[in-house]
Amino acid sequence: MPATYEQICDYHTQLSSHADPILLRMEEEARQERFPIVGPAAGKFLYMMARAIGARRIFELGSGYGYSTLWFARAVRENGGGEVHHTVWNEHLHERAKKNLTEAGYADLVRFHHGEAVGLLRLADGPFDILFNDIDKDGYPASLPAMKEKLRVGGLILIDNMIWHGRIFDPADQAPATQGVREFTRMLQADPDFVFQLVPIRDGIITALRVR
């Protein structure tokens, strides 16, 4: 009997169980507030990708209250130290992230930025080892040139929500967010400087390796 996608997602989550008290609190807050975090399965995947390439400089575009930032910061510390750039428009989330990462003991590794993520990336000193993108989906296509400029050869772009709750498969769905996800995928397919694959964890994470 074939497994359903829901069963696979549940199994991913089971395999990603952890006992980190700060992450567990943040996950519970996300459930109570219906706040969109990447969750433990995707968080563990981000951590593993950062460890796999020895990432020491990471820039997040759209970081919420710091859940994915914490996973990245743990990897960077275990890789020998470096920096993780947290970006968010909302001032309340900006301050909340500072509190969360300080409580978790990673504030020394995190550079907190309050503002529009793509503009902040353009101003940042590259290159970076990993760029993680979780901004508004209609903004995905316009972000790719800035990400490519700031990513080192051998570095990774990780971009969330690339299944977009199944909406990408509905030809009648022409919403700007859905079109943004489709167009970003098309742009990566057309760019010979990247090889990539969709990893079907949670809502889909495209992992793109810059090869030249």
Say what the pLDDT of residue 150 is: 98
pLDDT of residue 9: 82
Spans of all domains in the chain: 5-210
Write the CA distances from 130 to 6, 86, 169, integer angstroms. Answer: 29, 13, 28
Residue 154 Cα distances to 1, 21, 72, 98, 131, angstroms: 40, 33, 18, 30, 12
Helix (H/G/I), strand (E/B), else coil: 66: coil
For residue 5, the model assigns a pLDDT of 79
Rounded Cα distance between 209 and 206, Å, is 10
The pLDDT of residue 12 is 87
Quote the pLDDT of residue 7: 87
pLDDT score, position 82: 98
* H-helix or E-strand spanning residue 198: strand 194-199
What ranges make up the beta strands (E) of 89-160?
A: 110-114, 128-133, 151-159
Residues near 56 by Cβ (< 8 Å), separated by ≥ 6? 76, 79, 80, 81, 82, 83, 129
**DSSP category for residue 124:** S
Contact 85, 58 (CB under 8 A): yes
Which homologous superfamily is 5-210 in?
Vaccinia Virus protein VP39 (3.40.50.150)
3-state secondary structure 21-34: HHHHHHHHHHHHHC
pLDDT tens by residue, the chain, 212 residues: 788 878 888 888 888 889 899 999 999 999 999 999 999 999 999 999 999 999 999 999 999 999 999 999 999 999 999 999 999 999 999 999 999 999 999 999 999 999 999 999 999 999 999 999 999 999 999 999 999 999 999 999 999 999 999 999 999 999 999 999 999 999 999 999 999 999 999 999 999 999 99
- In the prediction, which pLDDT does 4 show? 86
